[in-house]
Structure 1
Amino acid sequence: MRSFRRRDGHETPADRGTRGSAAADQTDTHRRATDIACPERAAGHEDHKASPAPRPADSAPKGPALRRAAAEFIRLHHGEARRGDPAPRIARVFAEIDGTGTYRHTHDELVFGARLAWRNAARCIGRLYWRSLHVLDRRELTAAGEIAAASAEHLRQAVSGGRRIRPLITVFAPDAPGRPGPRIWNEQLIRYAGYERPGGEIVGDPRNAGITAFAHGLGWPGGPGTPFDVLPLIVQGAGDERPRWFRLPPDAVLEVPIEHPEYPWWAGLGLRWHAVPALACMCLEIGGVCYPAAPFNGWYMGTEIGARNLADSDRYDLLPRVAEGLGLDTASDRSLWKDRALVELNRAVLHSFDRAGVTMTDHHTESRRFLTHLGREERKGRTVGADWSWIVPPLSGSATPVFHRTYDTVERHPAYVHHPEALARARGESGDALVRDAPV
């Protein structure tokens, strides 16, 4: 298999100024996460740094702020679920907060909160399905090995019937006063390694070069060295546990070879991508309680892979190679060689997932469905917050109906959010780590 390397002289901007811009990532304590059927963020690769990051529990709501957040959520739950007067439940929660500094959600509250966090995700185009999110309540798990094993099981359960992807979230133990909950360092449960070679070349995914180096520092020996080596999970248990690495079992990682419906030479590119986009480093925040390890997935929209992961110049940067195979004139951008190569790359992704029988949507279908979601919510008297730059697809945007309108950018809770230190962990940044080999 040929290696995919970042081209010499390529820069990785902190602000791409396009769909998935990371410009505002560092400005807020909490940042909205990408969500199910949403494009991945375009964060540039940064050099490994050795500064320890504060734990998110330090900034979690406390005292009066926690009581307000809890009461607001309980009223919302009782109102939408028609559970009657919320006052008795609020009184019990307040008593629990006064006694312990936090409170525990009921199973029904957890399910309701996780689904509403999806419904509230302003950057997600796939929210029509928010009620179908299946919630695995694993709050009893706190140790790194338990989290890793349950995360592998999440990936197995997300693939229903062998190929059909279903929306799924696994919720692990929350942060509590004096005891941070567990963390999953990886941005997604499945990510491909980025091996930095002498001279700065990256074999694999440049986005993951930092976490790849960090995994090596923990003792991971690395994979075969292909552009699509699956990274181990890096998990930090609750309390004072140090991060440990865990291999994902092969039966937990479903991958799809990427071939083209018309060009036999395409198979020689050796492309593939994993089927389950399980986002892993976000905090699920419900009523002031932070669940820092709550991996969740839906299914891919084709452009996430074909127009971003495989095409972006700071990712696999495949457009020049595809254009070469197509025999296109790349001497000038005015030939639109990038556009033509991008369309064929996206055709290949959709064709390959369809051929494999793996669930995937396309940007035209999902755009229409998002407008269906808007209509349903508006009829219920609910305003839908949406970020235009994320809702409009990164391919043929003006050919989709979501392009030709504006949206309110209102944000609501419950929510999936990023803590700044979670972004640092996903880049592999830490000043202290426990070296341990711990296969799942």
Structure 2
Amino acid sequence: MKPQNINLQEVTDYLTLFAREQNLSAEDLKQRLERIYVECEQTGIYWQTTTELNYGAKVAWRNSVNCIGRISWQSLTVRDLRHLTTAVDIFAALVEHIEVATNRGKIRPTISIFAPQTAEEGIRIWNSQLIRYAGYRQPDGRVIGDPDRVELTKICQSMGWKGAGTSFDILPVIIKMPNQPPEMFDLPKEIIMEVPITHPNYPWLADLGLKWHALPVASDWRLEIGGISYPAAPFNGWYMSAEIGARNFGDAHRYNMLPIVAKKMGLNTSSKLSLWKDRALVELNVAVLHSFAECGVKIVDHHTASKQFMQHWKQEAAANRMVPADWGMTIPPISPSTTEVFHQPMENVCLKPNLFFQSAAWHRENDVVQTRVTVGGKITC
């Protein structure tokens, strides 16, 4: 197995930043770089210290142009799991990540970092998020569940998984180790906190049977720190309410709940002039915020998130750092012009360390799959 080719300039850039922000001496930096250069020359790669990894992961969040919630970047809990070498052990670590990060609703920003990429391939988690609901395509084209997960649901079914066929079935987690077939694991139900969606003024909304999981763990992004690539580094913050109310429930290509909610509200859905979509969207978001509060689960509304982002902006300016941001991804998907962040000019530049999108791993896989299923948290083959 050949190691990845290391860009020594990226190594130098990160270690220089690390030394500056962690108040290391010039001599300490010089000695550390010399050791890394020797290690790279001998092996083609180098092993980052836990401290370097920890701070790099936090800076990667700080540099992520898509996130409005970066004010908490320094509080990120970093789990160094580079020593794990089997899918079974990695899955156990993912279960622990969910438990630690959920924290009984007091969500902790957390990242779990597994072994680095090699020249051949790295560890991949096929799920875009550790917790997501299945989508079942019906013969007439309708989808029961999440239309965004139809393809992954079919893959899980081809590996032997049998979902209950409801709108909110938790998908298994698929892990692909280097040079091995992908393996599938069922998440223990008891570790997944879900929030039933109700409304403070519309009792009928509870009858729609909506719910959503408390913890958003992005699991298919690649973490890059100092020239080292970590293709399996699932991470989480907490939800902004609009992610659930406006996107997951509101988008026409997702659960598409706006027409149903609008009709229940007695709105005129035959005329755009009634603004029925806007009014239904607001009430869905009210329901999400109300429900998470009732269950004691941490969440943030889009106005508070905008205020926090601007506070983060000021803090970074005081530290003589810029805040890279993708304007279209940073502004909230509901009432954006009412937030301060909407009116802020942004620079969409890529700074490293950072988190990078990866295409779906299964698009290039033709392996014979192995199936593993968990029962009561214990793994059986």
TM-score exceeds 0.5: yes
Is contact 2:183-2:372 (8 Å) kept?
yes
User: How many matched pairs?
Assistant: 373
Amino acid paired to 2:366: G
1:437 Cα deviation (Å)?
A: 2.9
The corresponding residue for 1:362 is: 301
Shift of 1:429: 6.5
The structural deviation recorded for 1:195 is 0.9
Three-state SS of the structure 1 residue aligned to 2:218 is: coil
Q: In the aligned structure 2, how far is the partner of 1:350 from the partner of 1:390?
A: 21
Other-structure match for 1:380? 319
- Are 2:4 and 2:45, in contact at CA under 8 Å, matched by a contact in 1? no
User: How much has 1:177 moved relative to structure 2?
Assistant: 3.8
Asked if structure 1 preserves the Cα contact closer than 8 Å seen for 2:95 and 2:187, the reply is yes
Q: 1:74-85 to 2 correspondence within 5 Å?
A: 74-85=15-26
Is 2:9 the partner of 1:68? yes
d(CA) in 2 for partners of 1:260, 1:386: 34
- 1:201-212 mapped onto 2 (5 Å cutoff): 201-212=142-153
> How many Å separate the matches in 2 of 1:411 and 1:281?
19
Q: Please give the per-residue CA displacement for 1:76-132, whole angstroms capped at 9, x wherever unaligned.
A: 101110111211111111111111111111000000000000000111100101000
State the partner residue of 2:69: 126
> Superposed, which structure 2 residues align to 1:11-90 within 5 Å?
62-63=5-6, 66-85=7-26, 86-90=29-33
Q: Give the stretch that moved more between structures: 105-114 or 384-393.
A: 384-393
- What's the CA shift for 1:72? 1.0
CA contact (8 A) 2:185 2:371 kept: no
Gaps in structure 1 of 5+ consecutive residues: 1-56
Partner of residue 174, structure 2: 234
Q: 1:431: how far off?
A: 2.8
User: Higher helix share goes to which structure?
Assistant: 2
| Cα RMSD for the two superposed structures | 1.5
- 8 Å Cα contact 1:374/1:384 also seen in 2: yes
Structure 1 Cα separation of the partners of residues 318 and 199 of structure 2: 42
Deviation of 1:317 after TM superposition, in Å, equals: 0.4
Alignment of 1:396-407 (within 5 A): 396-407=335-346
The secondary structure found in structure 1 opposite 2:356 is: strand
CA distance in 1, matches of 2:42, 2:59: 28
Q: Counterpart in 1 of 2:213?
A: 274
In the TM superposition, residue 149 of structure 1 has moved relative to its aligned partner by: 1.2
1:344 to 283, 293, 300: 283
Which gives a bigger RCO, structure 1 or 2 (Cα 8 Å, sep 6+)? Answer: 1
Q: 4+ residue runs of structure 1 moved beyond 3 angstroms?
A: none
Aligned to 2:117: 175
Instruction: State the shift of 1:61 in Å.
Output: 6.2
TM-score when normalising by structure 2: 0.95
Instruction: Quote the Cα distance in structure 1 between the aligned partners of 2:244 and 2:235.
Output: 18
Question: 1:172 and 1:138, CA in 2 relative to 1: closer, same or farther beyond 3 A?
Answer: same
Aligned to 1:146: 89
Query: Structure 2 unaligned runs (5+)?
Result: none
The match for 1:199 among 119, 130, 140 is: 140
Structure-2 change in CA distance of 1:431 and 1:177 (3 Å)? closer
Length-normalised TM-score, structure 1: 0.82
The sequence identity of aligned pairs, in percent, is 46
SS at match of 1:234: strand
Q: Name the structure 1 match of 2:108.
A: 166
- The answer to whether the Cα contact below 8 Å between 1:283 and 1:293 also exists between their aligned partners in 2 is yes
Which of the numbers 235, 240, 246 marks the counterpart of 1:307? Answer: 246
For residues 400-425 of structure 1, give each alpha carbon's deviation from its aligned partner in whole angstroms, at most 9, with x where no partner exists. Answer: 111112111122000010133xx354
